[in-house]
Amino acid sequence: MALQLEKTTREDIERLVAEYVERHVEQRVEARLRQLLAEDPAAKRVAIIASRGTLDMAYPPLILASTAAAMGMAVGVFFTFYGLQILKKHLKLAVDPVGNPAMPMPVPNIVSVLPGMRAAATRMMEGMFRKHKVPSIEELRQMCLDAGVRLVACQMTMEVMGIRREDLIDGIEVAGAASFLSEASQAHVTAFI
Amino acid sequence: MALQLEKTTREDIERLVAEYVERHVEQRVEARLRQLLAEDPAAKRVAIIASRGTLDMAYPPLILASTAAAMGMAVGVFFTFYGLQILKKHLKLAVDPVGNPAMPMPVPNIVSVLPGMRAAATRMMEGMFRKHKVPSIEELRQMCLDAGVRLVACQMTMEVMGIRREDLIDGIEVAGAASFLSEASQAHVTAFI
Amino acid sequence: MALQLEKTTREDIERLVAEYVERHVEQRVEARLRQLLAEDPAAKRVAIIASRGTLDMAYPPLILASTAAAMGMAVGVFFTFYGLQILKKHLKLAVDPVGNPAMPMPVPNIVSVLPGMRAAATRMMEGMFRKHKVPSIEELRQMCLDAGVRLVACQMTMEVMGIRREDLIDGIEVAGAASFLSEASQAHVTAFI
């Protein structure tokens, strides 16, 4: 009789386990899965390369970085090539009207190459941003540092361009492309500016 | 005897549950996991920033956006800085040979700054695209809207550059960088053009 | 008595299954879940668009691609518009000082448009990279191919710009924007250069 009972119990057990798993476990696993996927850590990371050193194109990496940091995201900006100019202690960013027919006030190239036109375009653009209460590049840069944005200078292009660590502001890091890539490989938002 | 039997049953139960879980549950959980990961919603989202306003660089954001939409992806393009020119009702996009030694027909800068060279380069490029049956910027823009691509004008740079809502085409949205970032943080394909 | 025992056993089974699942299964599922999420295949893919054809901007896509490949990532670079110049058998990449106030040695535009200035700036930049032992564009390109980086030429812009397959190096592919997008939609690192 004990033997008979064991057989029955074994079948019972198998059936009951199967029922329980179907009723409870799969739902819980599915819910936990969706929860973990929704927590997608890549959605909270931003990795930007800033490669340009004109006044106009200094705004986008700093505006995106400071906005993302304000949204609670972990942000790194990697400054390379002309973008290193944005990290200089003494900023001398300019904008050039020559060759950019999309400037707000385009001038013919034959005029825009004349001495003084670069300085005039730069002053005009600075004025336009100031008038609309957009922080300056110095201010945006500080806002980024204050918000915990990692500002990283590209070691290789620093060397190639003869830029020394002491030419750049405090609070930044110096690293290579591999450092950017390991950060970017964990981030949904990646951009080369 | 009942007690003895209960003991046996308890051990039986634990062993059978363990076997069942190993045989069935882990495989099912693994399969479901791989299925959900493969459904990765970020693979179906594209978020692009269009920052340039030359004729040549107006093509890439619109070609990527319309192609992605045709592939069934959810696409948003955020137009900022010179990229706002692409959303103007009256398009006046030009391409400039000056300072771009990679142009198909490069001319020395001393020639390319002469009056008329910008217009000539623009006509040449328009002709090259038309000849190869590439839709015009106006057509690509409309294809994007028809395919459900969200075209978003950057509010801050609209103000800074003195571009009014009525200067831009219908069917678009106006928003800030935070709006782009929340979209991009859910997308694998992100690009700053 | 057998009936009584079966009842007891059924309750026992249900309780024991629940206990077992809570003690063992959920932990194992959670661990496996975290393991699979950490294996995120998008973290091991890089998809880059190279759209520029100047000497300076030929470095970033090739440096990022070869570095990522050395880190074990699967990398594709899609060359479009002026970027096609980087794939030419006979490279004639130049850098232009005109209109770039962020050049290491900026010169006034009125000087930089003079004949010979483009060649001088190009020689200067080549020298700067060589001095710091950065491989040349030809070398970087070969390093990419050797490391299994997929180099893809954009079919549409090849046609528009009159570039023939035989103008480009061996070992590359020719494809359209949809091909880039399907690769990029599986990659965390995406960049338009």
State ipTM: 0.87
- State the pLDDT at residue C11: 75
Mean pLDDT (chain B) is: 88
Q: Which residue of B has its CA nearest to A27?
A: B29
For chain B, percent of residues with pLDDT exceeding 90: 63
- State the pLDDT at residue C62: 98
Q: Which residue of C has its CA nearest to A176?
A: C67
Q: Is the pLDDT of residue A13 over 90?
A: no
Q: Is the pLDDT of residue B177 over 90?
A: yes
Pairs of CB atoms within 8 A across A/B: 141
Looking at residues C182-187, what average pLDDT do you find? 95
Q: Is the pLDDT of residue C10 over 80?
A: no
- Measured between alpha carbons, how far is C10 from B90 in angstroms, rounded to an integer? 78
Looking at residues A169-193, what average pLDDT do you find? 97
- State the pLDDT at residue A2: 43
- CB contact A156 to B (< 8 Å): no
Mean pLDDT (chain A) is: 88
Secondary structure of chain C in the HEC alphabet?
CHHHHHHHHHHHHHHHHHHHHHHHHHHHHHHHHHHHHHCCHHHHEEEEEECCCCHHHHHHHHHHHHHHHHCCCEEEEEECHHHHHHHECCCCCCCCCCCCCCCCCCCCHHHHCCCCHHHHHHHHHHHHHHHCCCCCHHHHHHHHHHCCCEEEEEHHHHHHCCCCHHHECCCCEEECHHHHHHHHCCCCEEEEC
Instruction: Categorize the per-residue pLDDT at C38 as very low, low, confident or very high, splitting at 50, 70 and 90.
Output: confident
Give contacts of A 106-135 with B, CB under 8 A.
108-110, 113, 128-129, 131-132, 134
Give contacts of A 61-100 with C, CB under 8 A.
80-82, 85, 93-96, 98-100
Tell me the HSE value of B78 on the side-chain side, using a 13 A CA sphere. Answer: 24
Q: Is the pLDDT of residue C114 over 80?
A: no
- State the pLDDT at residue C6: 53
Looking at residues C43-53, what average pLDDT do you find? 96
- State the pLDDT at residue A9: 64
Looking at residues C127-146, what average pLDDT do you find? 96
- State the pLDDT at residue B103: 74
- State the pLDDT at residue C80: 98
Looking at residues C132-142, what average pLDDT do you find? 96
Query: Which comes out higher in pLDDT, residue B6 or A51?
Result: A51
For chain A, percent of residues with pLDDT exceeding 70: 89
- How distant is the Cα of A188 from the closest Cα of chain B, in angstroms? 5
